[in-house]
Amino acid sequence: MSFRRVSAGSVRTSLLLTSALAAYPALAQDRGDDQRRSYLPHEIVVSAERDGYALEDGSSATKTPTPIIDVPQAVSVITRDQIDDQAVTQLNDALRFVAGVTLETGEGHRDEVFIRGQESTADFYLNGLRDDAQYYRSLYNIERVEILKGSSALIFGRGAGGGAINRVSKTASPNTAFAAADGSVDTFGAFSLSADLNQPLSMNAAARLNATYQEFDSHRDEYEGCFIGISPTVTLEPGADTRIILGYSYDDDERVTDRGVPSLGDGPLTGYDKTFFGQSGFNEASAQVHIARARIEHDFSNELSVNLSGQFADYDKVYANIVPSGTDGETVTLSGYRDATTRRNWIGQGNLVWTGNTGGIGHTLLTGFEVISQDTGNARDVVHFGAVDGPTSAQVPLARDISVPAFFLDPLARNRASELTVLAAYVQDQIELGEFVHIIGGVRFESFDLDTVNLVSNTPASRKDEKWSPRLGIMVKPQETVSLYASYSESFLPQAGDQFVLLSPTSAELAPEQFENIEAGIKWSPRPGLLLTAAAFQLERSNRQTTDPENPGFVILTGKTRTRGFEAQLTGELAPGWNANIGYSYLDGKVRSRVGSTEAGTVLEQVPEHHLTAWTRYDFSPRFGIGGGVVHSSSQYASLSNAVKLPAYTRVDLAGYFDVNERIALQVNVENLFDEDYYPSAHGDNNIQPAKPLNASVTARVRF
């Protein structure tokens, strides 16, 4: 019913997205359509109709107005309707229903994912701009989440080896005024309150405010926390061909740092799913995040447009923990530390898009640049037990309530700083050779200049890499609603890792890691609003560090891993009133050539062979509907040691929806309906996260 969001913002953009599947050949011939050539969608407004789970806009994958059916890459989308139907408020909870994406526990204080077997704490983006600090991301001001799979350096830059996660934010609309609010509470006592207000200021200007307050709780002892988020946006349209979007968000996250349970033997320690292996009052994580952004779009003509974006982000993050590092069934070993990070990002990006014909061949030509300046500071204090100069680990009896010995912090056991400058330029052409053959090709040049200093030893290090990242895709369209494609793409990752805090003397001498993704797939839209996709792929990662067997103590870049797999997804309206998002992935990830001390043949960590996700909602009437979901994962290893395995599991959810009237809607969500005991994620072999048992939440939504 009401309170659902649809892409509107501009009639011209809406026409582009809704007609692209049915009339793409005509679009290729007539490029005089009145539309903005921006790579991000226009603002989102509350509508009386549901938008459902389907999305036809694939512009984030190309930075050009491209239907998702014509993107030669696997792309999964979580729409606002699905986010609301599942009653999720955090990014990691939404990603649980994306096949091929598994969650790392992130040490209990950050988002961390595996995409196609590649782990990352940094491949997160907001409206196409990098948001790479280590923290938890809320969805209160987000319209949709896009998961682009495979190496994506041409669009997103270094990293993004297995894929990238892009959040598209809500923006203000001059077209309508609305006010909406919702509140929810679950059986553990966690609750959230959110508000969304949009107000036109004139025919060409509007302001919007999203805000939320959340309190966390769960079955885990001592776990609690709260989150405050405020996000105002302003949209200005000074002329028919110009648009300015201004936005700011402030996130304040405070929560207990919960590192889960250790392993015993070859699996998680059982019988202690509620036990907190930490110290109350010390195991705490705090993050304050400010992100300010501005974007201007201008159409010079129907064929030529430009957009410029700028973003400033300030991150202040502190977390501390006592953490389990192993157990023999009688005692548990504890260690700990306190870690603080500050980061400031300045990002500028510009794109010029031209559409036209040369000699009867259609083109959508993109040229662009990106400039990034990043300053990071990181310090760590290490826990010593018993005395200031005492041991850094302690053994205590394994019990339902862990008794942590007295401990002290050794200040500045680690202190480091880095300055990063990135300069990038890219070009891409989408070529239409008649009605049946489309080609996309492009390359990105990136200069990556990193300076770091170890402030404890006063040891500086620096390295500059200049890399080319190509992309090539060929698409055959035997019908307007069918696309067969094959693609090749590359990416790279400097040896400093994805947070770029410190270069070791060894890493400063080594070339970046390389990613190569080969993919073939099919996309079919049997009718508007329904899309079936399938893809087979091979992703190879090379230039990984390993010890030279001929010269112990020296590092060489011969380490390789490979992930082969198959993915399929069905998204959209299966029948009137029946929406679904169903995905399946088969992944075979292994070490091919020794990585560090890990031998060839080792299975990649947290990569389940089979992963099935499904969420669906069916409305029996305009006022009543039901929903439900399933997540199934085969067993997976907790780390590259392959010594500890997380067992296979199947989780079932259920939901019910009732619209009291046109202004008030109620819903109930039941998570883990059959009270399955399972362990969905880990951080190494001894930080394994028990899943929530059976629990329920009640949500009320109001529109004024």
Print the SS3 string covering 446-485. EEEEEEEEECCCCEEEEEEEEEEEEEEEEEEEEECCEEEE
Rounded to whole angstroms, the Cα distance separating 653 from 86 reads 9
What are the tokens at 695? 């629990």
Strands of 328-458 (E only): list them.
331-358, 361-385, 394-397, 407-433, 437-454
Mean pLDDT of 480-500: 94
Name the pLDDT band for 19 (thresholds 50, 70, 90). very low
How confident is the model at residue 554, as a pLDDT?
82
Name the pLDDT band for 12 (thresholds 50, 70, 90). very low
pLDDT reading at 41 higher than 50? no
Measured in degrees and rounded to the nearest 5, phi and psi for residue 286 equal -135, 130
Question: Among 541, 547, 457, 443, which residue's Cα sits nearest to residue 498?
Answer: 541
Rounded to whole angstroms, the Cα distance separating 453 from 612 reads 45
Rounded to whole angstroms, the Cα distance separating 305 from 63 reads 12
How confident is the model at residue 547, as a pLDDT?
83
Q: What pLDDT digit, counting tens, does each position of 666-704 carry?
A: 999 999 999 999 999 999 999 999 999 999 999 999 998
How confident is the model at residue 14, as a pLDDT?
34
Q: Spell out the residues 6+ positions from residue 444 whose beta carbon is closer than 8 angstroms to its own.
A: 153, 154, 157, 424, 425, 426, 468, 469, 470
Full-model pTM: 0.92
How confident is the model at residue 63, as a pLDDT?
96
Question: Among 348, 285, 291, which residue's Cα sits nearest to residue 315?
Answer: 291
Instruction: Classify each residue of 12-38 as buried b or exposed e, where b means 16 or more C-beta atoms within 10 Å of its C-beta.
Output: ebbebbbbbbeebeebbeebeeebbbb
Q: What pLDDT digit, counting tens, does each position of 529-586 carry?
A: 999 999 999 999 999 999 887 787 788 889 999 999 999 999 999 999 999 999 999 9
Question: Among 436, 542, 454, which residue's Cα sits nearest to residue 495?
Answer: 542
HSE (CB half, 13 Å, CA atoms) of 536? 1
Q: What pLDDT digit, counting tens, does each position of 603-662 carry?
A: 999 999 999 999 999 999 999 999 999 999 999 999 999 999 999 999 999 999 999 999
How confident is the model at residue 666, as a pLDDT?
98
SS3 state at 33: coil
Contact 670, 626 (CB under 8 A): no
SS3 state at 535: strand
Mean pLDDT of 168-187: 96
Parse the chain into domains and list their residue ranges: 4-703
CATH architecture type of domain 4-703 = Beta Barrel (2.40)
How confident is the model at residue 49, as a pLDDT?
58
Rounded to whole angstroms, the Cα distance separating 213 from 226 reads 7
Question: Among 579, 699, 585, 677, which residue's Cα sits nearest to residue 628?
Answer: 579
For 212, the enclosing helix (H) or strand (E) is strand 205-217
SS3 state at 640: coil
What are the tokens at 521? 């797939």
What type of residue is 527? R
CB atoms within 10 A of CB 189: 11
pLDDT reading at 588 higher than 70? yes
How confident is the model at residue 309, as a pLDDT?
98
Q: For residue 607, give Cα distances in angstroms to 594, 603, 683.
A: 18, 8, 13
What string of DSSP letters covers 671-698? ESTT------EESSTT-EEPPP-SEEEE
Q: What pLDDT digit, counting tens, does each position of 340-356 carry?
A: 999 999 999 999 999 99
pLDDT reading at 34 higher than 50? no
Question: Among 473, 421, 423, which residue's Cα sits nearest to residue 444?
Answer: 423
How confident is the model at residue 20, as a pLDDT?
33
Rounded to whole angstroms, the Cα distance separating 136 from 214 reads 13
CA dihedral 33, 35, 39, 44 (to 10 degrees): -140
Q: What pLDDT digit, counting tens, does each position of 323-345 carry?
A: 999 999 999 999 999 999 999 99
What type of residue is 36? R
Residues in the chain: 704
DSSP label at residue 602:
P
What are the tokens at 120? 């990352």
pLDDT reading at 457 higher than 70? yes
What are the tokens at 581? 């998002």
How confident is the model at residue 5, as a pLDDT?
33
**Chain centroid to CA 281:** 30
How confident is the model at residue 548, as a pLDDT?
80
Name the pLDDT band for 51 (thresholds 50, 70, 90). confident
Rounded to whole angstroms, the Cα distance separating 235 from 503 reads 42
Checking DSSP bridges between strand 361-385 and strand 142-149, what pairing results, if any?
Answer: unpaired
Rounded to whole angstroms, the Cα distance separating 541 from 563 reads 9
Q: What pLDDT digit, counting tens, does each position of 396-439 carry?
A: 999 999 999 999 999 999 999 999 999 999 999 999 998 899 99
pLDDT reading at 474 higher than 80? yes
Mean pLDDT of 37-57: 57
Mean pLDDT of 165-186: 96
Question: Among 217, 212, 290, which residue's Cα sits nearest to residue 255?
Answer: 217
Rounded to whole angstroms, the Cα distance separating 452 from 377 reads 10
HSE (CB half, 13 Å, CA atoms) of 208? 31
pLDDT reading at 207 higher than 90? yes
Instruction: Classify each residue of 381-398 as buried b or exposed e, where b means 16 or more C-beta atoms within 10 Å of its C-beta.
Output: bbbbbeeeebeeebbbeb
Name the pLDDT band for 11 (thresholds 50, 70, 90). very low
Contact 100, 115 (CB under 8 A): yes
What are the tokens at 617? 């909602």
Mean pLDDT of 198-203: 96
**Chain centroid to CA 665:** 29
What are the tokens at 432? 């239409």
pLDDT reading at 46 higher than 60? no
How confident is the model at residue 550, as a pLDDT?
79
471 versus 24: the higher-pLDDT residue is 471
- Mean of all residue pLDDT scores within the chain: 92
Place of tokens 């307007």: 480
Name the pLDDT band for 268 (thresholds 50, 70, 90). very high
How confident is the model at residue 124, as a pLDDT?
97
The residues facing 376 across adjacent strands are 343, 418
Rounded to whole angstroms, the Cα distance separating 412 from 420 reads 23
Measured in degrees and rounded to the nearest 5, phi and psi for residue 201 equal -95, -25
Rounded to whole angstroms, the Cα distance separating 154 from 571 reads 26
